[in-house]
Amino acid sequence: MSEASSVREPALAARIEQARRLAESGHVLRAEQAFLGILRDAPAEVDALNFVAICAHERGQYQQALALLERARHVRPDDPTTLTNLGVAQQVLGRFDDAVASLRAALQVAPDLFVAKLRLANVLEAAGRAEQALPLYFGAIFGAQQRGSWLSEATTAPGMRPLVLHAMRTVAPGRRRVFGELLVPLRERYGVDAMARVERCLAIYLQEMPANYADPQQRPKFLYFPDLPTQRYFDRALFPWYADLEARADAIRDEMLAVLAEDSGFEPFLGHFDGPEQLEGQLAGTRGTPAWNAFFFFRHGDAYEQNRKRCPRTAAALDDVVPLCRIRDHAPEVCYSVLTPGSHILPHHGVTNTRAVTHLPLVVPEDCALVVGGEARSWEAGRCFTFDDTFEHEAWNRSERTRVVMLMDVWNPYLTEAERLAITDLTVAIGEFNSAAGIS
């Protein structure tokens, strides 16, 4: 039921509540009669119009249901319940374009309305647009299960079960086909053996096989690539470009100090929040409000051109020296990472072990440390190191001064060229699929 469009008179509100209770207790016919009585006295009551329309629809009186829902939409054009029910009525009458429009309008108002998303997917599939339906089926199931629905028969309304089961049967092979097809050209180019670890990576992502992590502290939040050597901190010998970058550390530090002095262009690494309570579990501090700020050169793969122009020598080093992990809309993440005195980045895991995180320390007070998988390491100004952030890790600054490192996303050095290409294509495709599904 939707919320009332206006404050109801107490007597009317009581009648609506009584009708609802009849419906909830299984007395559908008595509830329908009660709602019909309400409509005689309050013909614009949207909840009543929707209930009576659903009853008519269940009896096969589709035109009558449609007319009632059109009345409800006229009263309240942006009511997502009405728009969803209207889409269902339009679909059964073969008005697919109208049904799509109604259901999209419902999701515009209520993006998390998983029933509307499921219905929209069903309409698109019935209209011969199965490729568009697939991510919506997935998004509907994901959204419902995140809220405790559609996990079993007990958490799925009886009337929804056939469609929910159809969606589940559609999603698993559909996602396998969509993502599996991406690997065909690479398999043909590099060979089956070259794609073997990628195939296992995809199977783990699709939950077709267990991850079997080599270390219990390693828990990627997004994508796990199996059979890579498991290291908290990588050997310097794997990064021959360190020497060139370290030779430029003084110039990079000078540019960092200049923008830090200007105190412009920095933003919270974790994003903007309304209050410190929203940082609970992510950031803590012993001296006032903790702060982890960043001056970004790249974020989620997008270049911050204004910041690059302000720090041309840093930008040149990133372009000429560092083999950044570049995936459209996803990577790299590159910034001056600023941790204020007393701030503590609490234990967390990164998204994928296909990339690693490099630090070039620029300003390093005493009593600062990074802990990766239980192994602590102090920064040394001008000396790089790289770690696997899919291990639980944390960092703190217990000094009286600000700590600054340049943070960069690079490829895991144990991936082959073919695997990097495959992971790039897969990550972009998964991102686009999830975006179409309405999953951030």
Q: What is the dihedral of CA 332, 261, 311, 370, to 10 degrees?
A: -30
Topology adopted by domain 10-111: 1.25.40
According to CATH, the superfamily of the domain at 236-414 is: B-lactam Antibiotic, Isopenicillin N Synthase; Chain (2.60.120.330)
In the block, tokens 């000429």 appear at: 320
pLDDT band at 9 (very low <50, low <70, confident <90, very high): confident
* More confident position, 277 or 326: 326
Least trusted range by pLDDT, from 167-181, 267-281, 291-305:
267-281
pLDDT for 3 beyond 60: no
Do the beta carbons of residue 293 and residue 378 sit within 8 Å? no
* More confident position, 287 or 56: 56
pLDDT for 163 beyond 50: yes
The pLDDT tens digits for 125-154 are: 999 999 999 999 999 999 999 999 999 999
Against a cut of 0.85, is the pTM above it? Answer: yes
Question: In this structure, what DSSP letter does residue 132 have?
Answer: H
Could you tell me the residue ranges of all domains in the chain? 10-111, 236-414
At residue 52, the 3 state secondary structure works out as helix
CA of residue 168 relative to chain centroid, distance: 20
Mean pLDDT of 37-58: 93
The pLDDT tens digits for 357-416 are: 999 999 999 999 999 999 999 999 999 999 999 999 999 999 999 999 999 999 999 999
pLDDT band at 273 (very low <50, low <70, confident <90, very high): low
The pLDDT tens digits for 68-91 are: 999 999 999 999 999 999 999 999
How many C-beta atoms lie closer than 10 Å to residue 227's C-beta? Answer: 12
What average pLDDT does the structure give for the chain? 94
